[in-house]
């Protein structure tokens, strides 16, 4: 633990993007900081990162590196749509709730068609309902389904669920896009190959998140059908997402992918979520608000308990489904998780019980 301006920088679990840069990404950045290389992606680091993705995914995919997830998702969706098209998503999808209208903006108006779902997951039935709801010219024409893996609620789609969704997409002529801001956590959770969790399950375009996986900035957009990537480079440039010193977006990916840190980081984060879950069991007045399948834990507890926890300095968000969300990052210290559990137990015992 270090301090800045006298404030201790204790780990918090409000978001997995509170964490810093992992050593593998950091050292690759340092290695890339040697000499002069050509700009705008025409450099050895970008080639190396792109080839690492192709090897990892066992596919000759087209690879684009952008600065963040909002851009990755919005530009990927825009590339699959005309302005009169519709994009089917779940009601808790990041594209719907946390991107400030960027998918609609970058697609010049393609409308998000929101499926209601209790646990944030899309199903073939919910997709069918929206895809067949209207056939007339007055309603936006459904064109793409976007799902998040792992989801905003910390759930993971099984391969069977993904394939059933992909079949439904095919039946209605819909492309399948995956928001993989936490793709690594899903792969770690499923124990399957990245190919199985993406193109082998019918995903056309994947946004693979680097930021929450241990990078400073950066997401990769992978097109498994190369034709769909036509002119995507122009789209990135127009949107201000073409890095001139691209090597510094590419190098951390090289560091993560070549060392295997991408999967180790996610595996550790998931393990910490499980560790937290196990310790929560048995605290009276605190319940899991949903199953733990990746690196998120959602808790239901009375407001005085949560308030007491905040007073002890803990940060967490409650805007998703009303539950308190705890996210575990690549660098989570299990000792700090134990401190959180201890405080939560004390708060529940003192502040949660009647009398
Ligand atoms: C974090 C996150 C993103 C990316 O968000 P940015 O802040 O734009 O980088 C995208 N989708 C999901 C589900 C996320 O959690």
> Average pLDDT in the 310-332 region?
93
Cβ–ligand 1 contact at 148 (below 6 Å): yes
* Integer Cα distance of 214 and 182 in angstroms: 11
Q: Which fold, 23-261?
A: 3.40.640
Rounded distance between C-alpha atoms, residue 145 and residue 339, angstroms = 41
Within 10 A of 225 (CB to CB), how many other CB atoms are there? 13
- C-beta of 69 in contact with ligand 1 (< 6 A): yes
Residue 99 confidence (pLDDT): 98
CA angle 189, 17, 240 (to 5 degrees): 110
Phi, psi values for residue 288, rounded to 5°: -70, 135
Structure confidence at residue 321 (pLDDT): 72
Short-list 163, 162, 173, 165, CA closest to 80: 173
- Asked if residue 331 has its Cβ within 6 Å of ligand 1, the reply is no
Contact 102, 74 (CB under 8 A): yes
**Residue 9 pLDDT > 90:** no
Residue nearest to atom 6 of ligand 1 (CA): 69
Is pTM beyond 0.95 here?
Answer: yes
Residue 301 has a pLDDT of: 95
What is the pLDDT at residue 175?
Answer: 98
Q: For ligand 1, say whether the CB of 211 is within 6 Å of any of its atoms.
A: yes
Cα of 94 vs centre of ligand 1, distance in Å, is 7
- Residue with CA nearest ligand 1 atom 15: 181
DSSP 224-277: SSGGGGTTHHHHHHHTT---TTTHHHHHHHHHHHHHTHHHHHHHHHHHHHHHHH
Helix axes 23-32, 261-280, angle to 10 degrees: 150
Q: Is the CB of 181 under 6 A from ligand 1?
A: yes
Confidence at residue 350, expressed as pLDDT on a 0 to 100 scale: 87
Question: Which has the closest alpha carbon to 329: 290, 306, 295, 355?
Answer: 295
End-to-end CA distance of the chain: 38
d(CA 308, CA 175): 46
Whether the bond between 150 and the residue before it is cis, its omega within 30 degrees of 0, is yes
Query: How does DSSP classify residue 210?
Result: -
Residue 4 has pLDDT above 80, yes or no: no
Where does the pLDDT of residue 1 fall: very low under 50, low under 70, confident under 90, or very high at 90 and above? low
CA–CA separation, 14 vs 30, rounded Å? 29
Report whether residue 146 contacts ligand 1, using a CB cutoff of 6 Å. no
Nearest Cα residue to 213 out of 22, 11, 14: 22
- Using the mean position of ligand 1's atoms as its centre, give its distance from the Cα of residue 327 in Å: 13
Across the range 241-247, mean pLDDT stands at: 98
Domain ranges of the chain: 2-19+262-351, 23-261
Question: What separation in angstroms does the CA of 69 have from each of 95, 207, 217, 220?
Answer: 9, 7, 9, 9
**In the predicted structure, residue 136 carries a pLDDT above the cut 80:** yes
Nearest CA to ligand 1 atom 5: 69
Residue 184 Cα to ligand 1 middle (Å): 13
Pair 211, 184: CB distance under 8 Å? no
Taking every pair of Cα atoms in the chain, the longest distance, rounded to a whole number of angstroms, is 69
For residue 52, CA distances in Å to 28, 61, 98 come to 14, 11, 30
pLDDT of residue 118: 79
Pocket test for ligand 1, best of 181, 219, 329 (most atoms within 8 A of CB): 181
Measure the CA–CA gap between 175 and 217, rounded to whole angstroms.
27
HSE (CB half, 13 Å, CA atoms) of 136? 1
Q: Are 223 and 61 in contact (CB under 8 A)?
A: yes
pLDDT tier for residue 120 given thresholds of 50, 70 and 90: confident
Of residues 12 and 322, the one with the higher pLDDT is 12
At the topology level, CATH places domain 2-19+262-351 in 3.90.1150
Indicate the pLDDT class of residue 283, thresholds 50, 70 and 90.
Answer: very high
Tell me whether domains 2-19+262-351 and 23-261 share a fold: no
pLDDT digits (tens, 9 = 90+) for 33-89: 999 999 999 999 999 999 999 999 999 999 999 999 999 999 999 999 999 999 999
**From the CA of 52, how far away is ligand 1's center (Å)?**
23
The bridge status of strand 62-66 relative to strand 111-115 is unpaired
Side-by-side strand order, sheet with 175-180: 62-66, 219-223, 205-209, 175-180, 141-148, 85-90, 111-115
CA–CA distance, 86 with 178 (Å, rounded to integer): 16
Interval between CA 19 and ligand 1 midpoint (Å): 14
Q: Is 92 in the pocket of ligand 1 (CB under 6 A)?
A: no
């Amino acid at each position: 633990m270090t301090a800045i301006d006298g404030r201790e920088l204790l780990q918090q679990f409000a978001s997995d993007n509170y964490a810093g840069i992992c050593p593998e990404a950091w050292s690759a950045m340092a290695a890339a900081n040697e000499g002069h290389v050509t700009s705008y992606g025409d450099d050895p680091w970008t080639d190396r990162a792109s080839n690492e993705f192709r090897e990892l995914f066992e596919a000759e995919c087209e690879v684009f590196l952008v600065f963040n997830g909002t851009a990755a998702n919005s530009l990927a969706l825009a590339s699959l749509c005309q302005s009169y098209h519709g994009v089917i998503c779940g009601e808790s999808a990041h594209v719907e709730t946390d991107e400030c209208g960027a998918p609609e903006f970058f697609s010049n108006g393609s409308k998000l068609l929101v499926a209601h779902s209790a646990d944030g997951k899309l199903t073939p039935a919910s997709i069918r309902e929206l895809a067949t709801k209207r056939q007339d010219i007055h309603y936006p024409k459904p064109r793409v389904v976007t799902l998040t893996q792992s989801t905003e609620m910390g759930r993971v789609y099984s391969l069977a669920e993904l394939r059933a969704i992909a079949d439904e997409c095919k039946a209605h002529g819909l492309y399948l896009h995956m928001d993989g801001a936490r793709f690594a956590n899903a792969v770690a959770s499923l124990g399957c190959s990245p190919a199985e969790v993406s193109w082998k399950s019918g995903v056309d375009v994947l946004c693979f998140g680097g930021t929450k996986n241990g990078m400073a900035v950066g997401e990769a957009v992978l097109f498994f059908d190369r034709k769909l990537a036509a002119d995507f480079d122009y789209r990135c440039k127009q949107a201000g997402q073409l890095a001139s010193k691209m090597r510094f977006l590419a190098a951390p990916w090289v560091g993560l992918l070549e060392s295997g840190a991408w999967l180790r980081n996610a595996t550790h984060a998931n393990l910490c979520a499980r560790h937290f879950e196990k310790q929560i069991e048995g605290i009276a007045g605190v319940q899991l608000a949903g199953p733990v399948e990746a690196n998120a834990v959602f808790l239901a507890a009375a407001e005085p308990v949560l308030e007491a926890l905040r007073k002890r300095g803990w940060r967490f968000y409650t805007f998703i489904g009303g539950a308190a969300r705890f996210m575990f990052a690549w660098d989570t210290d299990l000792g700090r998780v134990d401190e959180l559990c201890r405080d939560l137990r004390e708060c529940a015992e003192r502040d949660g019980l009647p009398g």
